[in-house]
Amino acid sequence: MNLVRWNPFTEMNLLQNNMNRLFDNALRTWPGDSTGTTDWVPAADIYETENELVVTLDLPGVDSKMVDVSVENNVLTIRGERRPAEKQSENFHRVERSYGAFARSFTLSMQVDADKIRAAYKNGVLTITLPKAEAAKPKRIQIATSVA
């Protein structure tokens, strides 16, 4: 049996993400809000490797032509829209999926090389790869040894 050390920060991060989604959903239906900019919020994962940040968003049913990705002032913004199928009409018995515009913005934890950002869309998942700027990459410093 393997023991796994409990990390309370993992639980706190999950709680924060759930609270953010709760407030995002509540604010969408706030009385007097006529912006209509966010009808649904796609789930996102962000992870870091040695040389880059990688962001993935679940965008099932979204045409890649309806998605815009931009980085400005160290903020990554993804905007788009999921439209209902043309067939959707009075023949539907139930519609549970959300449709409409969405926008997600993430403040990047480090500087990235904006000229080398890549985005790929496959099987309903958008993957954005943001190479770290040279100044943000960790530097390994060789320790000189001397023989006494």
Q: Using CA atoms, how far apart are residues 16 and 30, in angstroms rounded to an integer?
A: 21
CATH number of 51's domain: 2.60.40.790
Domains in the chain, number:
1
The secondary structure of residue 103, as a DSSP letter, is: E
Say if 63 falls within a structural domain.
yes
pLDDT tens digits, 44-99: 999 999 899 999 999 998 999 999 999 998 899 999 998 877 665 667 777 778 88
Residue type, 140: R
Q: Using CA atoms, how far apart are residues 128 and 122, in angstroms rounded to an integer?
A: 11
**pTM of the predicted structure, to 2 decimals:** 0.65
What Cα–Cα distance (Å) separates residue 96 from each residue in 6, 40, 119? 36, 12, 29
Q: Which two tokens stand for residue 144?
A: 């000189």
Which domain covers residue 40, as residue numbers?
35-85+97-136
Say if 52 falls within a structural domain.
yes
Say if 21 falls within a structural domain.
no
Could you tell me which residues are beta bridge partners of residue 107? 75
